[in-house]
Structure formats: C-alpha cells, structure tokens
Amino acid sequence: MDIKKGDLVLVISGKDKGKRGKVISVLPAEEKVVVEGVNIVKRHVRPSAKMRQGGIVEKPAPLYRCKVMLICPRCNQPTRIKHTFLEDGKKVRVCSKCKEIIDRV
C-alpha cells in the first residue's frame, strides 16, 4: 500500500470524483482507504446511551485505493507514486512529477 494515513488525495472516479481529502485510515488487506468527507454513507443508529434519540450518522466509507491519487505535498499536483531507496536503504515515496521525496525523513 503506497497511500498512508494523513496523505492528501484526489478522488478520480465514482460519485465523489474531483473531491480532495485527507486519508484518515488505510485498510491494506482490502486495498482500501478511508478519506475524510468522501464516500459518505448514512447509517441509521438505534438509540443508545451515547445517542439517546438514535438517528442518522454520516461517516466516510472505505473506497478502493485505485480510485484516488496522491496529491504531492511539494508540487500540489495529483501524482503517481514512485519509490526510491535512500543511502541508508530506507524506501521512500517519490512524486513522479516534481521528483521530490514525499515522505518526511
């Protein structure tokens, strides 16, 4: 999985196409990501101690990683992710547009 929690991504397909948001969780086993404000689903919630009235809760549902593109924090463009190795052997992500290392090292 090349997308990480905290990344800013652009949605490239589906009903939220064109939306940008921050990745709030990553599900590597399912190849899915959860993006803030994207793929919102409404859930009916039964009354509980927490929500006495019950009602409708809106929350982002996971979407496939292939439906989003990383927005490079350096050049602010949606980009493909490349990988490179640093001198110490650490694998880092690189923006294919500006060639900058995306990961903070």
Report the interface residues with Zn ion, using CB under 5 A. 72, 74-75, 95, 97-98
Nearer CB in complex with Zn ion: 32/93 = 93
Q: How far apart are CB 2 and Zn ion at their closest, in Å? A: 14
C-alpha 62 chain-centroid distance: 9
Q: How far apart are CB 81 and Zn ion at their closest, in Å? A: 10
Residues 6 or more apart whose Cβ sits within 8 Å of residue 31: 1, 64, 65, 66
Q: How far apart are CB 16 and Zn ion at their closest, in Å? A: 23
Nearer CB in complex with Zn ion: 22/82 = 82
Nearer CB in complex with Zn ion: 9/95 = 95
